[in-house]
């Protein structure tokens, strides 16, 4: 690919990713200009910046993965209670791609799942994977080091989620209920195939559940996969994808200014959304998007190309060095115990969590999850819909309430 074409492809991808994270579909959207005004990283922690101002007690926690990343966790209590008197079981919230733990608190307390769980007396723990702004770096690497970004979603699953669950399990002496959205479901299911992780989990609820991606219908991601844009990024030496950096926002501002219809990109990236709260876009962009690694994007695009739910493909000979075999090992969904209760919410307008791929996953699981299907819901409606409490969260919480006894650890 010629350099000019590669640069044009990079510009297109950066803009599309902004739209994915910003959740704005109005035709008058000027995403890059808004992002330029919101490009400064938060100074205070997530508790002080977003959760406590809404009247909810919150404490900051840190824990270290086995490969040296220092993760940030927040623990949230009911607005009428305190952190020392939690009555419900612990719940870990695992966010999606280009997001972090703030994604669960972006609307008012009556609509945001994190606040709703806390007010229902669950012991809410907010997860933030490596590379996001609520995490705290690495014990020896700097974010400027290439090696800092040498990971994909399998490392989220095998290191980050493992350590989050272990930490919560140790602090609370209770099995953890897990809730994931989008990429958070990929890493949750991969983690649950590991026996030492799943034994610390009481149940899991998955919003827009993804494992296989070979039937997605989202037009722009499919185009970018065909262009091998992820490999272009790696060839150009771009290891961190940070859409709040100055150069990224300048590119996106230029692309929105007469080169691309910014208002139509959301639908082309993730499909139609019926009910998300577009009036809060300026507020959303104070927090989103968060960084991720180019290798992570490459791994997700591999899933689309190869039709597998497997570890990162380094290439045949590097796979031999990493895995002892020419192809990367698959995550075996049949290893998730049939005794683990699972709940899944999915929508008919979701162009990423496709129903055909969902059915593929269901055939590989040993259990039969509880399913909620909403025909008019899209990928973002499960997170920021104005009706998500009534349509989704009340039903999911009824599932969890029936299982509270599973959180109790017996000696």
> CA 351 to CA 344: how far, in whole Å?
16
**For the chain, what are the domain ranges?**
46-215+330-409
pLDDT tens-digit map of 201-239: 999 999 999 999 999 998 888 888 998 989 988 999 999
379 is catalytic: yes
Query: Residue 82 has what pLDDT?
Result: 60
Query: Residue 86 has what pLDDT?
Result: 54
What does 41-70 look like in DSSP terms, one character per residue?
PPSS-HIIIIIGGGT--EEEEEEE-TTSBE
pLDDT tens-digit map of 80-108: 766 555 568 999 999 999 999 999 999 99
Looking at the predicted structure, is the pLDDT value of residue 199 above 60? yes
What does 100-113 look like in DSSP terms, one character per residue?
-GGGGGSS-TTT-H
Out of 138, 290, 299, 379, pick the active-site residue. Answer: 379
150 is catalytic: no
In this prediction, residue 407 has a pLDDT band, given cuts at 50, 70 and 90, of confident
Query: Residue 26 has what pLDDT?
Result: 32
Topology of domain 46-215+330-409 in CATH is Rossmann fold (3.40.50)
Mean pLDDT of the residues in the chain: 86
Buried b / exposed e along 188-227 (16+ C-beta atoms within 10 A): bbbbbbbeebbebbbbbbbbbbbbbbebbebebbeebbeb
DSSP code, position 140:
S
Angle between the N-to-C axes of helices 294-306 and 219-226, in degrees from 0 to 180, rounded to the nearest 10 = 100
If one compares 244 and 23, the residue with the highest pLDDT of the two is: 244
Query: Residue 83 has what pLDDT?
Result: 55
pLDDT tens-digit map of 36-71: 444 444 567 999 999 999 999 999 999 999 999 999
Out of 17, 174, 182, 278, pick the active-site residue. Answer: 182
Entry pTM:
0.87
Out of 123, 230, 350, 381, pick the active-site residue. Answer: 350
Classify burial at 44, counting beta carbons within 10 Å of its beta carbon; exposed 0-12, middle 13-18, buried 19 or more: exposed
Query: Residue 20 has what pLDDT?
Result: 41
350 is catalytic: yes
């Amino acid at each position: 690919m010629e350099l000019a074409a590669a640069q044009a492809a990079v510009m297109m991808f950066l803009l599309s990713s902004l739209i994915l994270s910003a959740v704005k579909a109005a035709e008058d959207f000027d995403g890059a200009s808004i992002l330029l005004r919101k490009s400064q990283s938060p100074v205070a922690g997530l508790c002080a910046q977003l959760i406590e101002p809404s009247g909810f007690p919150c404490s900051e926690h840190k824990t270290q993965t086995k490969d040296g990343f220092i993760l940030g966790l927040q623990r949230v209590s009911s607005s009428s209670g305190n952190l020392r008197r939690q009555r419900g079981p612990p719940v870990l919230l695992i966010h999606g791609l280009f997001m972090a733990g703030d994604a669960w608190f972006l609307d008012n307390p009556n609509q945001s799942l994190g606040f709703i769980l806390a007010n229902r007396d669950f012991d809410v723990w907010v997860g933030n994977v490596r590379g996001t702004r609520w995490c705290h770096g690495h014990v020896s690497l700097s974010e400027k080091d290439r090696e800092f970004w040498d990971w994909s979603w399998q490392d989220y699953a095998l290191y980050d989620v493992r350590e989050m669950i272990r930490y919560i399990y140790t602090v609370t002496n209770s099995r953890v209920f897990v809730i994931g959205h989008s990429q958070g479901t990929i890493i949750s299911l991969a983690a649950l195939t590991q026996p030492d992780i799943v034994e610390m989990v009481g149940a899991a609820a998955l919003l827009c559940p993804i494992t296989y991606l070979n039937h997605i219908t989202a037009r722009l991601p499919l185009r970018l996969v065909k262009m091998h844009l992820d490999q272009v990024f790696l060839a150009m030496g771009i290891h961190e994808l940070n859409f709040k950096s100055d150069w990224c926002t300048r590119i996106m501002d230029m692309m929105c200014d007469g080169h691309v219809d910014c208002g139509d990109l959301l639908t082309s990236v993730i499909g139609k959304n019926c009910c998300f709260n577009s009036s809060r876009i300026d507020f959303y962009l104070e927090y989103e998007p968060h960084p991720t690694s180019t290798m992570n994007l490459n791994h997700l695009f591999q899933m689309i190309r190869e039709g597998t739910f497997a570890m990162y493909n380094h290439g045949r000979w590097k796979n031999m060095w990493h895995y002892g075999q020419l192809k990367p090992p698959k995550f075996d969904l049949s290893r998730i115990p049939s005794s683990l209760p699972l709940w899944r919410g999915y929508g008919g307008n979701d162009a990423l969590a496709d129903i055909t791929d969902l059915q593929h996953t269901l055939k590989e699981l040993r259990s039969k999850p509880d399913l909620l299907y909403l025909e008019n819901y899209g990928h973002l409606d499960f997170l920021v819909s104005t009706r998500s409490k009534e349509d989704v969260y009340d039903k999911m919480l009824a599932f969890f309430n029936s299982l509270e006894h599973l959180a109790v650890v017996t000696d």
